[in-house]
Structure 1
């Protein structure tokens, strides 16, 4: 499961990173806010149509469960933070912040995600994990560093930093609903964030783009925002918010590499340095060995699972794995390497 979490987090970063240079091909025809809105709407509408098609054709039995009970509160709170407050704060911040400074400040999202995960949501942390996070963030800073970086302007940079805090809260709150269907989560977040961003664009005087341009933007959004977010939620399920956020912070590097091929941009010392730093950080995380004796409290929940050492309940008949149903965990104390998934939310 830890390998699954790391793999899906990196794949999410790859898809999101590739969407940046592809979106750059469209930005001359669209304002940043209209483009962001179409990318998000492409995510929500595209995933929703895929879900509807599978439902109508009955092509595949659903193995994931829907959102339930208090999960709706956590998801709507996450959407309010990341899909509404974050974009609005960024919009106001960009009006009084140089682009180079904003690019540098946006790296705070990964830092804030880790800090909230460690100190508010009590995910496990050790020196190796901290060192890996520092290396990945340092690589992102190298990529976005500009000569004209300035924190002058008062509230502008503060608003950009606040937007990063909102997205970090979104990441951590989404982890609390990560046992539900990731496609449902991504669909809802895409529709809400897309509607908000398109609304902002229209309020600022933008018009709707031509159909081919809108379709291209929405297709990029389906892959770079929709499928990427599904993978991101799967990673949250298995390895927690801090580690997932760290892996996802490599997305700017992926975008930088893709730009070399798409736009013929030169290979710079900064890109090579970022590759070395991010590679070091990912290696530190992949080789982490978080192993100690811990308690599992008695609990009952519902999520996709296989019959491993944490799932030893009985079934009356044959079952296929993975499968989903409500099941109970008895109190258990043991020792093994683990990550902060749904079964290892203990304090350290």
Structure 2
């Protein structure tokens, strides 16, 4: 099977290949350690230039009719759908997700883009009865420049949610994909950019330092899906700049099995909740409380299901459980297991 090496590029002010003076990162396939993608690292100066360039086109995109923005998002959805195989292959190569699951993530992203495209033209203002002999008018408007900092565990679906909502409501976007899945973000951005006016979407790549620079920049919204520590840092940065912080961070998710539940069925649900995406989901089952009357049968059934899972590289069609995203995350999870 041919193994592609991705060379990621940034997009600043409508120009692909801009910047990257901060160095280079290399992403490795978690299944076998082979290099998969090289990615430039944006400097703080490049982040500033990207914000300035976005400001320059923000008014024009905000003034575009909602129906035109919706049409652009439909074109973007078409482009992403056409790139499904390429995007799914990149997801699997960079973070290990089984190929069928990676394709499902792309399909979910396409559906999200289309949903936002359909909602945009019907999103209107309101009139409210104000004080005596007065009427209050409320008209929605874009906030301006949105920094979207997205995760690696479902990189297409989650990115499409943040980017689609921001773009269709008239905002310009600075998109920072995870340093663990940069090629996936780059391929997604190429599909979206082809459907949008130049400069409406920019892409900045690199590690946490690039995300921190974006969060502290002169933007109007910082939208982030990811870890709680990163979310807290973004909230602190937004408090200093006055930007709106839109955060969805990690959970701590219990599952309760009562005495009246079929323990075998419950074990199937628990396995799905705990092992999907190798447990790398913010709503993954992390601890289970089982009634003593069904505990033994439940545990036996869960062990059988776990032992039956087909473990392997994500590119193998038979694989149900792929590798963890990288050695750093593997060591973190191993530490949790050994400390339990």
TM score, norm. by length of structure 1: 0.29
TM score, norm. by length of structure 2: 0.29
Structure number with higher strand proportion: 2
- Higher relative CO (CA 8 A, sep ≥ 6), structure 1 or 2? 1
